Chains A and B, each alone.
Chain A
Amino acid sequence: MQPEFEPTIQALKKEFNAQISEFRGDVSAIIPAENIVSAAKMLRDEFDFSLLSTMTAVDHWPEEKPRFDMLYQFTSVSKVLSLSVLVQVPGINPSLPTITGIFKNAIWREREVWDMFGIKFEGHPDLRRILMPADWEGHPLRKDYPLGYEEPQFTFNFEEIDLRKPYAKE
Chain B
Amino acid sequence: MTQLQEVSVDDIKHLVSERAIQGETVLLNMGPQHPSTHGVLRLLLELDGETVVNCIPDIGFLHTGIEKNMESKTYAKANVMADRLDYLNTLGNNLAYSMAVEKLVELDVPERAQSIRVILAELQRIASHLIWLGTTGLDVAAMSTFLYCFRERESILDIFELCSGQRMMTTYIRPGGVWRDVPVEFEAAVREFIKMFPRRVDEYEALLSRNPLFLDRTFGIGTVSAEQALNFGMTGPPLRASGVNWDLRKARPYCGYEQYDFEVPTRTEGDVYARYIVRIEELRQSLRIVEQALNKMPIGPVCSSNHKFIPPPRSEIGVNMEALIHHFKLWTEGFSTPKGSIYNAIESPRGELGVYIVSDGGPKPYRIHWRTPSFDNLQALPFMAKGLLVADLVAIIGSVDIVLGDVDR
Contact = CB atoms under 8 A, between A and B. Distances in A.
A164 interface: no
A136 to B, nearest CB: 9
A23 B68 contact: no
Interface on chain A toward B: helix, strand, loop, or mixed SS? loop
B233 A52 contact: yes
Contact of B356 (A23, A73, A107, A130): A73
Interface residues on chain B, size class: 35 or more
A54 interface: yes
B252 interface: yes
Contact of A51 (B5, B104, B235, B356): B235
Contacts of B230: 50-51, 77
A104 B369 contact: no
Contact of B63 (A104, A109, A131): A131
Interface in B33-89: 59-60, 63, 65, 67-69, 72
B317 to A, nearest CB: 28
Interface stretch (B24-32, B117-125, B184-192, B336-344): B336-344
Contact of B379 (A80, A105, A135): A105
Interface stretch (B7-15, B267-275, B327-335): B7-15
A58 B232 contact: no
A128 B11 contact: yes
A24 B252 contact: no
A5 interface: no
A93 to B, nearest CB: 22
Most buried by A among B67, B227, B341, B375: B341
B352 interface: yes
Contact of B358 (A58, A80, A133): A58
A119 to B, nearest CB: 14
B116 interface: no
A51 B233 CA distance: 6
Contacts of A58: 341, 358, 366-367
Contact of A77 (B11, B65, B246): B246
Closest 10 CB pairs of A and B: A105-B233, A54-B371, A131-B60, A23-B340, A56-B369, A131-B63, A58-B367, A105-B376, A50-B230, A80-B251
Given A50-B231, A131-B63, A134-B7, 6 more contacts: A59-B367, A73-B356, A104-B233, A105-B379, A133-B60, A141-B68
Interface of B: 5, 7, 11, 14-15, 59-60, 63, 65, 67-69, 72, 103-104, 106, 227, 230-233, 235, 244, 246, 251-252, 340-343, 345, 352, 354, 356, 358, 366-367, 369, 371, 375-376, 379, 408-409
Interface of A: 23-26, 28, 50-54, 56, 58-59, 71, 73, 75, 77, 80, 82, 84, 103-105, 107-109, 125-126, 128-135, 140-141, 147-148
17 contacts: A23-B340, A24-B342, A28-B341, A50-B231, A51-B230, A51-B233, A54-B343, A54-B369, A56-B369, A59-B367, A105-B376, A107-B379, A130-B60, A141-B67, A147-B69, A147-B72, A148-B65
